[in-house]
Amino acid sequence: MPKNKNVLVTGGAGYIGSHTCKILKSNNFNPVSYDNLSSGKKKFVKWGPLVIGELGDKNKIIKTIKKYKIEAIIHLAAKSIVEDSELNKNSYFINNLHGTITLLEAMRECKIKKIIFSSTAAVYGESTTFKIKESHKLSPINIYGLTKLMCENFIKTMKQIDHLDYIILRYFNASGSDYVSNIGELHDPETHLIPKLSIAFCLKTNFYIYGNNYKTQDGTCIRDFIHVLDIAEAHVISLKHILKNNIAETYNLGTGEGYSIKKIINIFEEITKTKIKIEYAKERINDPRKLVADPKKFNLQFNWKARKSSLHKIIYSELAWRKKQLKIK
Ligand SMILES: NC(=O)c1ccc[n+]([C@@H]2O[C@H](COP(=O)([O-])OP(=O)(O)OC[C@H]3O[C@@H](n4cnc5c(N)ncnc54)[C@H](O)[C@@H]3O)[C@@H](O)[C@H]2O)c1
């Protein structure tokens, strides 16, 4: 029987990383999580070993690659809070950009030539089209998006000078949970819409809408939500492909459906049969008005669709996880 391949998952103790490790394991890969636990959780690492380490620690990455005979890297580790990136610019350049360059150097020294990189819709900035294709202008309006774009460019340069194979996945809004495995979105502070809504519902606290004067139908921002388990599955598909092929491609991961914040609150209220207490606050710094993916490129190439990503499935799974987490019946 062929041996399961070992894959290094940076950020494997985080939200998307832990779900990805679960789906990797069920597809006969051995995920090795590499994480500094700055926002990740030890208890989320259930499908393989955890190495506690920094992206900036090249020697530790090299040791880990050698110890576990790693064959490919899935690189998720990053700081990713838009507003925080505006307030603490340097830490984003150091963590995300310098961290990624160090990881790539370690890969080069170990002759690992396959990487799947977590990028984001934030690399596009304000969209000029209804749905964003990968060929859309890249013009991030916040530091978080800028650091991710710089990482993308560095990875592309490594393709030219060192024949690195890469798949860049630009996710739109990850959401939902695998509540059966007791993993989900757990950030402090929580800044994402759907977990914040479910926290407001569970704890009966107010929910803040940041800005209701955007140029959209109801004045609130529009986003594209994709279930975290669909993102995890897309990583496994990408990994299987990159292990067998020379590839240098960038794909959106989204559903192509855009929902305004108010619309999501309505759906959430319908599902929970509860009115959420809404308050309005001023717009967050450099938060794009509308981000909706054109997901066709990935879907057509891999004959795949984000099947778990209906808003109902996302909200149900988020609520189930949150209630478990907060010990609420
Ligand atoms: N959540 C989303 O909606 C979304 C959307 C687009 C892109 N992304 C990207 O997906 C990736 C994962 O996001 P997430 O939501 O799971 O975030 P997360 O904060 O839950 O996970 C990130 C993980 O990386 C680890 N980490 C951060 N800096 C590190 C460092 N220097 N060294 C080692 N480990 C480090 C953290 O401890 C954490 O476990 C990020 O790269 C993020 O930019 C997320």
Return phi, psi of residue 154, to 5°: -65, -40
Say if residue 236 is in the same domain as residue 263: no
Query: What is the mean pLDDT of the segment spanning 174-197?
Result: 95
170 shares a domain with 36: yes
Tell me which of 2-6, 29-33, 87-91 is least confident: 2-6
Domain limit, last residue, from 215, 237, 253: 253
CATH code of the domain covering residue 210:
3.90.25.10
Predicted pLDDT at 311: 96
> Which has the minimum average pLDDT: 34-43, 96-105, 173-182, 280-289?
280-289
Q: How many domains does the chain have?
A: 2
Among 212, 235, 253, the domain-final residue is: 253
| Whether residue 46 has pLDDT greater than 70 | yes
Domain with 185 in it? 179-223+256-326
Ligand 1 is surrounded, with C-beta below 6 A, by 11, 13-17, 35-40, 54-55, 76-80, 95, 99, 118, 120, 171, 173-174
Catalytically annotated residues:
144
Mean pLDDT, residues 260-284 taken together: 94
At 123-161, the pLDDT tens digits run 999 998 889 999 999 999 999 999 999 999 999 999 999
pLDDT-derived band at 1, boundaries 50, 70, 90:
low
pLDDT tens, residue by residue, 275-293 = 999 999 999 888 889 999 9
Nearest alpha carbon to residue 145 among 120, 182, 162, 118: 120
Atom of ligand 1 nearest to the CA of 192: 3
- DSSP structure string for 210-237: E-S-SSSTTSS-EE-EEEHHHHHHHHHH
Q: Give yes or no: residues 25 and 153 share one domain.
A: yes
* Same domain assignment for residues 168 and 186: no
Amino acid at 273: K
- Cα–Cα distance between 64 and 263 in angstroms, integer? 46
Specify whether 94 is located in the same domain as 193.
no
Question: In a mutational test of the pocket of ligand 1, which residue from 57, 76, 186, 227 has the highest number of ligand atoms less than 8 Å from its CB?
Answer: 76
Q: Say whether both 86 and 137 belong to one domain.
A: yes
Ligand 1 centre to CA of 308 (Å) is: 21
Same domain, 20 and 164: yes
pLDDT at 132: 97
Two structure tokens written together for 196: 């914040």
Give the distance (Å) from ligand 1 centre to CA of residue 116.
14
CA 77 – ligand 1 centroid, Å: 4
Let me know whether 104 and 238 are in one domain: yes
Co-location of 141 and 32 in the same domain:
yes
Q: Domain check: are 209 and 266 in the same one?
A: yes
> Which single residue is written with the structure tokens 């393989």?
48
Tell me what the pLDDT averaged over the chain comes to.
Answer: 96
Pocket test of ligand 1: the residue of 15, 46, 96, 183 to mutate, having most ligand atoms within 8 Å of its CB, is 15
Is there a single domain that holds both residue 211 and residue 109?
no
Whether 163 and 261 map to the same domain: the answer is no
